[in-house]
Amino acid sequence: MAPRVLVSDKLSETAVQIFRDRGVEVDYLPDLGKDKEKLLAVIGQYDGLAIRSATKVTEKILAAATRLKVIGRAGIGVDNVDIPAASKKGVIVMNTPFGNSVTTAEHAIAMMFAVARQLPEASASTHAGKWEKNRFMGVELFNKTLGVIGAGNIGGIVCDRALGLRMKVIAYDPFLSDERAQKMGVTKVELDELLARADFITLHVPMTEKTRNILSREAIAKMKKGVRIINCARGGLIDEAALQEALSAGQVAGVALDVFATEPATESPLFGMPNVVCTPHLGASTTEAQENVALQVAEQMSDYLLTGAVQNALNMPSVTAEEAAVMGPWLKLAAHLGAFVGQMTDEPIKAINILYDGAVAEMNLAALNAAAIAGIMRATNPDVNMVSAPVIARERGIQIATTRQEKSGAFDAYIKLTVVTETRERSVAGTCFADGKPRFIQIKGINIDAEVGAHMLYTTNRDVPGIIGTLGGTMGKHGVNIANFTLGRAKAGGDAIAILYLDEPLKPAVIAELQATGLFQQVKPLQFEVA
C-alpha cells in the first residue's frame, strides 16, 4: 500500500505534485491545520504530515497519529511541533534549514536600512501630504560597526552582506571558531564587547532558555548610546519592556522587529513609538523561499517514506533504510556514551576520538559519530541534534578522529569514546548485547557491565570497605529505589567506581550527604534519554 501524506498548510502545487510523481498518496487540505478538532479526527489515516507554521502538532495530535512516521516542516522553525513527544512516538521531525536563509538575511539587512533612515515614518509622512525633509535625519551604514549575535547560517549571510556595505562586522557566537571567523572576515568578540562597540546589533540565534532575553535590561544598559537593534530571529530574545524604556530615554535610537514575544502581536509597548520599524514575521516571506522549502520538504518526506533515507532530521541521524534496522541500538549507545562524557566534562573540549571495534566498525560511522557528538553537546546545549552537532563541533575547532579496528577482545563489537581537554582525557566504552540494550563496559579503564537508565549516579573512590553500605544506606534513607548497582575497580585498594541505576532523579541533599562522607572523589548524578 502506498504511503499517505496529509498537507495541512499551504504548499505550492509543484510541491504537492512531487508526492504524486513519486508514488505517494497526498491529500491537500491547506486550511485543516487551523482546525484542531478536524485534524485530530483524521490524522490517524496518514503516514506523513507536511506543515508550515499554522498547524500545531501537539502531544494530543501525536497520540491520535497512529500511523504517522514523519513530520516535514517547510521552513526552519519547529516551535509548532512537540519534538520530544514526536521522538517518544518514533516520529521523525524534518525541517528545511537552508531554503529561506537568504530571504531572512535579506530582510534583516532591509530592516537595518529602514531603521537607519526612518523609511516607514518618512513614507507615511509623505503619503499624508507633508514634506518633512528636516525631520528625518538618518545615519549611514558605511563604516559603522555591526554586531551580529549568532553567526550561523543566516547570521553568516548577514555578515557577508554587511561587509559588502563596507561595515565593520563583529560577531558573538560561542560556537564560532577563530579560523571560521577569519575566513568570514569578521572579528570574533565576547557579548559584552559587542554590546559596547556596536552601532547596530542584529540577532540570529534560536530561542532557548540560554538565549531568552539575551538583550536584557542589563545588556541594553551596556550598549553604546544611540545603538540601533534589529531582530528577525525569534521573539523573546529581547526584553521588550526594557527596550521601550531605553528608546524613551534615548539609549537606543531605533529598533526594527520582525518577531515578538507573543505572536500574532496585536499590541506591544513598542507600537507607535518613533523610529520603531515593525513587520509581521516576514523574514521567510518571499516567493522564492516559500517555493524552495516546499519543494525540499516534499522531496525529503518522499525519500523517507519510500526508501527510509533521512535528511535534515531534528531527532535522528541521517541513515539509509538498510542501515536503520541494524543500527538502532548502536545509535542509542553512541548517544549514551556521548551523554556520559558530556555531563562529566566541565571544560572546553579540544578533541573527540571514537574507536569502533568489530562488527560496529562496518556500520554508518557518520551517523554514529553524529549521535555521539550530539550526546556530548546536549549536556550544555539541549537544542543540538544529530544533524547540527558535527557542524557545531567543527566551528568550535574540535578535532574529531575516528578509528576502525577488527574484533580485538571478548565482545563482538564495542564503541570507545574519548574526550580530550586541556588538562585531561576521559573515556567510556559500551556495547549492545543480543537484547539490543546498550551497556557501559568500561569507564576510566575499569571494566564494568552497567545497563543504562534514565536516572543514574556515578561515583569514584578508593577501593575501601563501606562504599556499598554508604551508597545503599543513603539511598534507602532518602527513599530512592536502586534498579541496578554496578561496581568496578582497577585493583584491590586502588581506584574504584560505582554506577547506580535509580528509579528517580536525586535531590541535591542526597548528593551533598554523600559528598560529606569524605569517601568519594566524585559524586555525579547523570541523566539519559532512554525512550
Catalytic center residues: 234, 263, 281
56 neighbors 44 (Cβ within 8 angstroms)? no
CA dihedral for 284, 257, 224, 189, sign (positive or negative): negative
Quick one: CA dihedral 115, 148, 234, 16, positive or negative?
positive
Query: Euclidean distance between the first and final Cα of the chain, in Å?
Result: 29
Please, how many CA atoms are within 13 Å of residue 238, restricted to the half-sphere of its CB? 31
> φ and ψ at 81, to 5 degrees?
-125, 130
Angle, helices 153-164 vs 101-117, to 10°: value is: 50
Can you spell out the DSSP letters for 377-406?
A: HTTT-TT--TTTHHHHHHHTT-EEEEEEE-
Which of 396-423 are b and which e, b meaning 16 or more Cβ less than 10 Å from the residue's Cβ?
A: bbbeeeeeeeeeeeebebbbbbbbbeee
Q: Which amino acid is at 231?
A: N
Q: Which residue shows C-alpha cell 505517494?
A: 24
Q: How many other C-beta atoms lie within 10 A of the C-beta of residue 292?
A: 23
